[in-house]
Amino acid sequence: MVKSSKIYVRATTIFLILGMLVGCSSPYGKMVDNTTAPTTASNAAQSSTTALVEETKGPVITISQLVHDRGTIPSNEGTLEDNWFTQAVDKILLEKFNIKIKYVTVPNAQREQKLATLLAAGDAPDVCMTNDNVMLMNYSRNGGLVDLAPYMDEYAGNIKQYHSAEWIKNAQIDGKQTRLIMPSLFMADATWVRQDWLDKTGLKAPTSPDEFYNMLKAFKAQDPGKAGDRMLPFALAKNFSQIEVAMLQGFLKTPPTGEKLMTPWQLWPEAKDMLRFLNKLYNEELMGEFILDADTSKYKAAITTGVLGSTINTANYMGHSAYGNLEDTLQKTVPEAHFVPTYPWKDPACGDEYIYSMFVNSPVTTLQFFIPKTCEHPLEAFKYMDYKSSKDYAILAISGVEGADFKYVDGIPVPIDPAKFKDHVSWIGAQYAYLIQNAFVNDQTALKKVYASNFINKLSYNTFVNDCITGPLATKYADPIINADRPTFTKYRADLGVKWASAEAKMILGTEVDFDKNFADGLAQFKAEGGDAVAEENLKLYQTQYGN
């Protein structure tokens, strides 16, 4: 079993609000024009810097890197191959390692297909990243990737600072260190509840499934939001998303073992208890559904118009700008409205221990970095990868340059001119990537402040810092990393997901009388059409890797 006492913040990166360069006395030096795209003069200055380095250190070595072009760079910022950020990185790398970077761009939407084509042709950049676990394992086994182990002792100072020894080892493929995996930052999902509805019904935040059920009954009976027929005590987005990572643990009486975490959750005995609970909520008109709401617009409207009393979603969902400032919009209609994160999914048999969150945390979904065997300068490429694992690189990519884009306040970067952040900084990190997801991953106090700084108002800021990141307990249970090929999982994964979603909807939305039959039919289909085979493969690989 993989158990961690650390707090992780979810797989999608939350960027800081930062500023843009202003004025003529730029801390970037002559390499950067503060108001326009890179010019001939700035390029000439860069060439002059390169020539000086070559004169003192010998020929400059060029290393190429894959870049995911998301089409978000503003026209006045230059190109992905040449802009203030690429120039700043080149300046640092020339001084530190006598190397410069050539950026090879591919459209983000076709990034895996384009990378596969480049690798097959022997034209892949020196530093690449991918989410295609199967492709990477095949290349590693066929000798197509550089073994990074010879460089780890002497040149991996930043990597070892931010990647644990266990994480580095688990990235190996068949015992060879042919890749590094970016440590992903996750945060547990929260069960959001309208605090003003709790106040009006005289209830406290629920701490168990039974208390959650009783809360919904009170919401339905008393209609504290005066929503009438539109009132929804509880609802989930789209196809009942997040139940297996946020609700299932409320029906466990003991923490899950590693073997259990490697078993598809649909096969857990507790899955039936959870789905029966949801079926009960639906049949008692305590839960709405948004199955056909693919873009979540109707779901969000239920939140912002004040008719939804509770839901499950990411722990920054109500207060973050990325989701549309939902609570701020709600408060324009209902000024006293306020969502609070609660954690009711704990069986009383567990005592004081929350089985806080279970989530996928494996190379199947996590960005992996590697150096193709075609690289002519693998040592220099590895030095660059180590720099991309540094706090300095993460701050530059996410926050810009101190004094020009941000200043430190209470130990974290704060924008000098937030209004200019979008054009100057926000497009950088996701396209160039880095091997650590945040510069403060080793400092939990600073990390909470950093993530909270992107919230719209003080109310949401406090909610996020005090509740969402920390939660009631820092314990988490994650799917173990498996660094072997999973052909059965790959074969059945997509079809199983689609078919289970249909069967699951029938279980939840059917009558209570039909639940047992609907569940038995859906589970039998899941097992017969690949579920049992995936479970058998997962357990065999887990036992081989972890010796259990």
* 14-57 per-position pLDDT tens digit: 332 223 222 222 322 322 333 333 444 445 445 544 444 445 56
The most confident of 6-15, 255-264, 531-540, by mean pLDDT: 531-540
Share of the chain above pLDDT 70, in %: 80
DSSP codes of every residue in 168-235:
HHHT-BTTB---EEPPP-----EEEEEHHHHHHHT-PPP-SHHHHHHHHHHHHHH-TT--GGG-BS-E
184-210: per-residue pLDDT in tens? Answer: 665 667 899 999 999 999 999 998 999
Would you say residue 13 has pLDDT above 70?
A: no
Rounded Cα gap, residues 181 and 362, in angstroms: 9
Q: How confident is the model at residue 516 (pLDDT cuts 50, 70, 90)?
A: very high
Rounded Cα gap, residues 34 and 202, in angstroms: 57
Lookup result for tokens 């006395």: 25
Rounded Cα gap, residues 347 and 344, in angstroms: 9
The pLDDT of residue 413 is 86
382 SS3 class = helix
First to last CA, the chain: 9
The pLDDT of residue 415 is 81
Would you say residue 462 has pLDDT above 90?
A: no
Domains contained in the chain, CATH given: 2-185+363-452 (3.40.190.10), 190-355+486-546 (3.40.190.10)
Rounded Cα gap, residues 145 and 148, in angstroms: 9
Query: Which has more pLDDT, 257 or 32?
Result: 257
The pLDDT of residue 33 is 33
Rounded Cα gap, residues 526 and 301, in angstroms: 34
